[in-house]
Amino acid sequence: GAGVSQSPSNKVTEKGKDVELRCDPISGHTALYWYRQSLGQGLEFLIYFQGNSAPDKSGLPSDRFSAERTGGSVSTLTIQRTQQEDSAVYLCASSPRALAVYEQYFGPGTRLTVT
């Protein structure tokens, strides 16, 4: 079956522009996470969606970052007025069960470069 997909795979943008990153989770997975990974670093939690519940936005680094999940499936992470420090790989993960979100399936990521 299809895994988690993300698009675009690479995105180069100029400082100050807005970008949208897309995540298609595995069909039927109720939980969805966004993470950010800088070169050689660990994963930084950004936001968590679980079904129709209000998302946990506690990891978003600033109000320039926002995310939505439509119909409990596809999710979009938007970064407004991008800064060079936003350059990183943005990873999306989904999980099949609310009580087993430790087992996350990751997408290939979107490499964002802000010039």
Residues making contact with other proteins (CB under 8 A): 31, 33, 35, 41-45, 48, 50, 56, 58, 91, 93, 98-109
Distances from the Cα of 90 to the Cα of 48, 50, 52, 53, 77, angstroms:
14, 19, 23, 23, 9
Q: Considering the complex, what minimum distance in angstroms separates the CB of residue 55 from other proteins? A: 10
Pick the closer one to other proteins by CB: 46 or 79: 46
Supply the minimum distance, in Å, between the C-beta of residue 98 and other proteins.
Answer: 8
Q: DSSP letter at 39?
A: T
CB of 71 to other proteins, least distance (A): 20
Any idea how long the chain is? 115
Nearer to other proteins, 71 or 102 (CB): 102
Give 64 or 106: the residue with its C-beta nearer to other proteins: 106
Of 74, 72, 109, the closest CA to residue 88 belongs to: 109
Residue 15 CB, nearest approach to other proteins (Å): 26
Give the DSSP per-residue string, 44-95: EEEEEEETTSPPB-TT--STTEEEEESTTS-EEEEE-S--GGG-EEEEEEEE
Residue closer to other proteins by CB (options 22, 45) is 45
